[in-house]
Amino acid sequence: MKALIIAVSLALSLASAATAHAQAAPASTIEIMAPWARATPGGARNGAAYMTILNKGKEADRLVAVSTTVAKTAEMHRTETENGIMKMLAVDAVDVRAGSQAVFKPGGYHVMLMDLKQPLVEGESFPMTLTFEKAGKITVTVKVQKMGAAEDNMGHMQQDMGNMKTE
Average the pLDDT over 80-109 and give the result: 93
Q: Is residue 9 part of a domain?
A: no
pLDDT at position 102: 96
**Domain count within the chain:** 1
Specify the CATH number for the domain of residue 64: 2.60.40.1890
- Asked whether residue 17 carries a pLDDT value surpassing 60, the answer given is no
Looking from the CA of 111 toward its CB, the CA atoms found within 13 Å total 29
Task: Decide: 113 and 66 in contact? Cβ < 8 Å.
Answer: no
pLDDT at position 150: 65
Q: Where on the phi/psi map is residue 125: left (φ > 0), alpha (ψ -120 to 50), or beta?
A: beta
Task: Decide: 138 and 129 in contact? Cβ < 8 Å.
Answer: yes
3-state secondary structure of 136: strand
In terms of residues, how long is the chain? 167
pLDDT digits (tens, 9 = 90+) for 43-71: 889 999 999 999 999 999 999 999 999 99
pLDDT at position 134: 93
Query: What span, in angstroms and rounded, lies between the C-alpha atoms of 161 and 65?
Result: 21
pLDDT digits (tens, 9 = 90+) for 22-40: 222 356 799 999 999 999 9
Domain of residue 108 covers 28-166
Considering the chain, what is the average pLDDT of its residues? 79
- Asked whether residue 15 carries a pLDDT value surpassing 90, the answer given is no
Q: Is residue 33 part of a domain?
A: yes
- The larger pLDDT score, comparing residue 136 to residue 9, is at 136
Query: What span, in angstroms and rounded, lies between the C-alpha atoms of 145 and 147?
Result: 7
Q: Is residue 13 part of a domain?
A: no
pLDDT at position 149: 63
Q: Residue 146: in which H helix or E strand, if any?
A: none
Gyration radius (Cα) of the chain, Å: 19
